[in-house]
Amino acid sequence: MEDKTVKSVLLVFAMEAEAQPLIQALGLKEDAPPKILGPAPCLTFSGSHEGLNVHVVWNGKDRETGVDNVGTVPASLSTYLAVMAFKPDIVISAGTSGGFKAQGAAIGDVFLGTAVINHDRRIPLPNFDKYGIGYSLCLATPGLQSSLGLKQGVVSSGNSLDYTDKCMSIMEQHGVAVKEMEAAAIAWACNLFHVPLMCVKAVTDIVDGDRATAEEFLENLHSAAAALQSTLPRVLGQLAGRKLGEL
Amino acid sequence: MEDKTVKSVLLVFAMEAEAQPLIQALGLKEDAPPKILGPAPCLTFSGSHEGLNVHVVWNGKDRETGVDNVGTVPASLSTYLAVMAFKPDIVISAGTSGGFKAQGAAIGDVFLGTAVINHDRRIPLPNFDKYGIGYSLCLATPGLQSSLGLKQGVVSSGNSLDYTDKCMSIMEQHGVAVKEMEAAAIAWACNLFHVPLMCVKAVTDIVDGDRATAEEFLENLHSAAAALQSTLPRVLGQLAGRKLGEL
């Protein structure tokens, strides 16, 4: 990967509640006319922060149910179209997530991803098994991580809020610290463009804890979004004008 | 939906082994220069059959592992980009699948989909639950179905070749006849464009049978692809020049 200077960043969010605090804090404006043509439901916002061009894409709402377009399918499409439109130097998959206390996660923590995998794509055929897991390294940012004091670990994606025994087995095999619903699909789209990916994930619920995910998720969504929001501008500040290899 | 005359069809395939027999039988040519710009791995082929413009997109190969890009993420991207490029009157999700003997499926059968769902997107939050299932009707084609003598049923998509108890419970609740890995994501992209979807699925293995899916799948992939290939040109023949409402 070319060791270029970071001038522009694209943040990908699944949920409006995750994206709005950053959009407001940085005063980003919705791109008009739209930068993404066609009926894709995603919305984009742009502006700058500490000299960095900052673009945000979130997946928009589902026409039928009115909920945010969570999960891998809308995330990959938004990422593909937004990378095509903005040609960012780095993509950041940002949002809320479950955390594994076995990997040191507590509610409100913000993690940096070291790598991403899928935990719900079991294809036991030669090479398809590896494709299904889709292990992909995130951009290494040791300086950023230590200067911001963030935890780090493997991020795992799946299309369900809960998990099955088979999901858990795959997550345990890979020492997963953070479970969410989009990062691996965002990585897939980034890899097509050879654009490096960072993951910044705030913990709303403990996966290997005693409480039901849905209950914990709803209770902590807004506080975790606030933790995310206090961290993201500091992450962007660390990226501005640096070379990829010195992060 | 406007009752327009069918002049062009886009067939979406996940695997080369599924797409090649039709491409060869109809003498379709790879589009050059490419109709889809950017690094998307999908490939497109075009030609005509009985006066119908026929386009094929298949998801291409994964750079890292060399296998076909199966599953929902590449399927939705290929569909989105190919519908944008070709503006077809109908999209057909075609390929191999598992069949439920409880719904009358036998190996080598070709099914028409009545509707699609996802069986691996469990999101137990209000309205997100419905979004996760993503139930979407296929284009009704009663005349085509009876004249070709095809079976019909609900098609369910998930990113694993196998299934969990939770997947099976969802499939049973919806009376699923056919299990595969792409149709619901193709439907999601089609719905963005308001383009009707048909599913034509050949059965390689019995989901509710005694044998392991992977073993049965590999054994029957080529014979099911042949059954698919003998059916698809007859399906296209029934579409050519007809109105959507008279299929």
ipTM for the whole complex: 0.95
Mean pLDDT of B221-241: 91
Tell me whether residue A24 is exposed, middle or buried, using C-beta atoms within 10 angstroms of its C-beta: 0 to 12, 13 to 18, 19 or more: exposed
Q: Which of A18, A109, A120, A182 is catalytic?
A: A18
pLDDT tens digit string along A7-63? 999 999 999 999 999 999 999 999 999 999 889 999 999 999 999 999 999 999 999
Q: A8-242: which CATH architecture?
A: 3-Layer(aba) Sandwich (3.40)
Cα gap A138→A155, rounded to integer Å: 10
Q: Residues of A with CB below 8 A from B165's CB?
A: 164
| Residue indicated by tokens 């004249």 | B147
pLDDT tens digit string along B131-157? 999 999 999 999 999 999 999 999 999
Tell me whether residue A168 is exposed, middle or buried, using C-beta atoms within 10 angstroms of its C-beta: 0 to 12, 13 to 18, 19 or more: middle
| CB-CB under 8 Å, B122 with A191 | no
Say if B242 is an interface residue toward chain A (CB within 8 Å). Answer: no
Predicted confidence (pLDDT) at residue A2 exceeds the cutoff of 80:
no
Chain A residue with Cα closest to B40: A192
pLDDT tens digit string along A136-186? 999 999 999 999 999 999 999 999 999 999 999 999 999 999 999 999 999
Residue A18 annotated as catalytic: yes
Q: Residues of A with CB below 8 A from B76's CB?
A: 73, 76-77
- The DSSP string of A23-60 is HHHTT-EE-SS-SS-SS---EEEEEEETTEEEEEEE--
Q: What is the pLDDT of residue B1?
A: 57
Mutation to test the A interface, candidates B59, B73, B170, most A Cβ within 10 Å: B73
Predicted confidence (pLDDT) at residue B48 exceeds the cutoff of 90:
yes
pLDDT tens digit string along B16-35? 999 999 999 999 999 999 99
Q: What is the pLDDT of residue A59?
A: 96
Q: Residues of B with CB below 8 A from A218's CB?
A: 125
Mean pLDDT of B118-125: 97
Mean pLDDT of A73-100: 97
Q: Residues of A with CB below 8 A from B124's CB?
A: 161-162, 214
| CB-CB under 8 Å, A164 with B67 | no
| CB-CB under 8 Å, A128 with B161 | yes
Q: What is the pLDDT of residue B37?
A: 82
- What fold is seen in the domain B8-246? Rossmann fold (3.40.50)
> Looking at the annotation, which residues of B are catalytic?
18, 205
The fraction of chain B above a pLDDT of 70, given in percent, is 99
Domains in chain B: boundaries: 8-246
Q: What is the pLDDT of residue A228?
A: 92
Identity of the residue in B71, B118, B128 whose CB atom sits nearest the CB atom of A121:
B71
Predicted confidence (pLDDT) at residue A69 exceeds the cutoff of 60:
yes
Q: What is the pLDDT of residue B217?
A: 81
Q: What is the pLDDT of residue A37?
A: 81
- Name the band, by pLDDT with cuts 50, 70 and 90, for residue B55: very high
- Name the band, by pLDDT with cuts 50, 70 and 90, for residue A202: very high
- The DSSP string of B6-17 is --EEEEEES-HH
* SS3 letters across chain B: CCCCECCEEEEEECCHHHHHHHHHHCCCEECCCCCCCCCCCCEEEEEEECCEEEEEEECCECCCCCCECCCHHHHHHHHHHHHHHHCCCEEEEEEEEEECHHHCCCCCCEEEEEEEEECCCCCCCCCHHHHHHCCEECCCCHHHHHHHCCEEEEEEECCCCCCCHHHHHHHHHCCEEEEECCHHHHHHHHHHHCCCEEEEEEEEEECCCCCCHHHHHHHHHHHHHHHHHHHHHHHHHHHCCCEHHHC
Tell me whether residue B180 is exposed, middle or buried, using C-beta atoms within 10 angstroms of its C-beta: 0 to 12, 13 to 18, 19 or more: buried
Give the Cα-Cα-Cα angle B86, B183, A168 (nearest 5 degrees).
Answer: 135
Q: Residues of A with CB below 8 A from B214's CB?
A: 124-125
Chain B, 134 to 163: residues with Cβ < 8 Å from chain A are 158-162
Q: How is residue A103 written in tokens?
A: 């990997």
Say if B132 is an interface residue toward chain A (CB within 8 Å). Answer: yes
Say if residues A244 and A3 touch (Cβ distance below 8 Å). yes
Residue A208 annotated as catalytic: no
- The DSSP string of A120-134 is S----STTHHHHHH-
**List of residues 6+ apart from B219 with CB closer than 8 A:** none
Mean pLDDT of B77-106: 97
Q: Where are the beta strands (DSSP E) in chain A?
A: 8-13, 29-30, 43-49, 52-58, 90-99, 110-118, 136-137, 151-157, 176-180, 197-206
Q: How far is B226 from chain A (nearest CA, A)?
A: 21
Q: If you average pLDDT over every residue of chain B, what do you get?
A: 95
The fraction of chain A above a pLDDT of 90, given in percent, is 89
Chain A, 207 to 236: residues with Cβ < 8 Å from chain B are 214, 217-218
- Name the band, by pLDDT with cuts 50, 70 and 90, for residue A226: confident
